[in-house]
Amino acid sequence: MHTRTLGQGLTVSAIGLGCMGMSQSYGPNPGDRDEMIEVLRSALDSGVTFFDTAESYGPYLNEELVGEALQPVRDDVVIATKFGWRLGDGEAPGLDSRPARIREVAEASLTRLRSETIDLFYQHRVDPKVPIEDVAGAVGELIAEGKVRHFGLSEASALTIRRAHAVCPVTAVQSEYSLWTRDAESAVLPTLAALGIGFVPFSPLGKGFFTGAVDQNTQFSDGDIRESIPRFSEENRAANIALLAHVAQLADQKGATPGQIALAWLLAQGPQVVPIPGTRRTKRIEENAGATGVGLSADELDGLATLAARIGVHGNRYGDFQMGFVER
């Protein structure tokens, strides 16, 4: 596995591991905790050293899982987690990035992660009630105290990124980005390049679509978030198959899998791009890691981008409620 450097000199594996699905969102959660711990530890055998979690995944369960699994190899990995949600505790759930709340989350996350420092601490979603300068200042204080190493943002606009970066250097921005979700290209990616900030695409495989495991006949199990996502309605999946068919055809020509082609396309977008595909299976981790060895020519890259733009994508990437928390 090659390594890449995000902003502020944070070196990580070229492909990371999104851990959320081990605790929520994709149907019934795995019943065997020990099995998920082994999957997490097996990622290192494939060269993965970058692990992504959040207090809200579970909630809390995913951080605990990641903390237990990676404690024996803590010095060899980079763990990213997130703040920014009010998760109940007698209050209505919602966004909450007040400085006092950020500190509270950091302390609790450190305990769950069994760690003395958080390598990368993202604001999970921008909170319109709290100036981003106050958020950046609060994380800067945690960095000065050694409790956090690096500051990140998720689904933030270019302007918000610049304002935050002026107060506390931003190491990485995490947003959805893939062949069928390319909103970041117009303003965010140029801003990150100009400021020397890394980019961490989540859902780089289109929530499983580009693995080829989802088609118009797929029946999602109870609790699978894709049931509520317009892009995954039966009608929209049928329309979106055209793009997947081209990716699969190219994969056959390259001796690769569709998922590897989709990841290789992302890796080719710049040396600061580090996708974090999620999975519950060691075999899939191995497959994803193999994408770093898939070379795409300039013509192939252009063909994928052009086709994706021409075909377009049918359906929003989130439902109406979820869209309210996207890019501010």
The catalytic position among 57, 60, 177, 318 is 57
User: Residue 272 and residue 12: Cα distance in Å, rounded?
Assistant: 10
Look at the alpha carbons of 186, 170, 20, 90 in this order and tell me if their dihedral is positive or negative. negative
First to last CA, the chain: 34
Answer for the pair 191, 161: CB distance below 8 angstroms, yes or no: yes
Which CA distances in Å does 229 have to 196, 207, 323?
Answer: 33, 10, 10
Q: Return phi, psi of residue 82, to 5°.
A: -140, 155
Whether residue 57 lies in the annotated active site? yes
Answer for the pair 102, 134: CB distance below 8 angstroms, yes or no: no
User: Residue 8 and residue 143: Cα distance in Å, rounded?
Assistant: 13
Q: Are strands 198-202 and 85-86 parallel, antiparallel or unpaired?
A: unpaired
The catalytic residue positions are: 57
